[in-house]
Structure 1
Amino acid sequence: MPGPPISDDAASPLRWVRACRRDALDPGAIHPLFMEGRHVILMWDADSVRAVERACPHEGADLAQGRCAAGKLFCPRHLAWFDLRSGAVSAGWAFRPLTIYPTRLVGGEIFVGFDPSSPDRAKDVDA
């Protein structure tokens, strides 16, 4: 269950919000959350935790039903994939990149960073 924000870093415009404990995030699984008014999914990719918007930018497919492998998140509806570092979509698709949220691991807790001045581009999830 997401928790309250941690103290904001004065040098960063981001609002860091607790997502879950590290041990609650199963390797290989995609975990959907609702944080700061956004549908987000969390997953481990190699040795990093990644947080991205839950709805595919193409038609709103639920990316929590997709799969994550080798730095890519695969859409369950269109088989397009997204680069988990940049959000870029695979070749042959023409729509905006996936929104990527920065993450931090602090004392066994995972935090996701949100820019309060940035509009939420995430669409509702089409289940």
Structure 2
Amino acid sequence: MAEARPGPTYLGPASLLGDRAITPVRVGGRQLILVRDGTRIVAAERACPHEGADLSLGRCAAGRLHCPRHQASFDLRDGSVSPGWSFRALRLSPVAVRPDGLWVSLA
């Protein structure tokens, strides 16, 4: 029998991010950040996979999330790290913007 997969989790109203590009949230015991890149919003793990820096203190520019500690950056489409770094990709989850608010589906 296949393991049941959890459904989407409600994050809050669509205005949750306000005018910020990066907002920390806690979802099901996980520390995540919501990152707005233009009109798209993604959820990402909050700790950098390199040395655990707090990515909520980073910045988002041109489709990339930049780590505040070492300036490595992550592609917000697939989590891949910028050239010259050799550690795993950033874990991302899609965020759906619905009339009733923001929803994330965690793997």
**Fold-level similarity (TM above 0.5):** yes
Across the two proteins, how many residue pairs are aligned to each other? 104
* 8 Å Cα contact 2:21-2:37 kept in structure 1: no
Shift of 1:41: 0.1
TM-score by length of 1: 0.76
* 8 Å Cα contact 2:79-2:91 kept in structure 1: yes
* 8 Å Cα contact 1:73-1:81 kept in structure 2: yes
CA-based RMSD of the aligned residues comes to 1.5
TM-score by length of 2: 0.90
Q: Residue in 2 aligned with 1:20?
A: 12
* 8 Å Cα contact 2:45-2:90 kept in structure 1: yes
Q: Residue in 2 aligned with 1:37?
A: 29
* 8 Å Cα contact 1:28-1:68 kept in structure 2: no
Q: Does 1:93 align with 2:81?
A: no
Q: Structure 1 regions of 5+ residues with no counterpart?
A: 1-12, 116-127
Counterpart-to-counterpart distance in 2, 1:15 and 1:108:
16
Q: Residue in 2 aligned with 1:55?
A: 47
Q: Structure 1 vs Structure 2: percent identity of aligned residues?
A: 46
| 3-state SS in 1 of match to 2:84 | coil
The runs of 4+ residues in structure 1 deviating greater than 4 Å are none
Q: Structure 2 regions of 5+ residues with no counterpart?
A: none
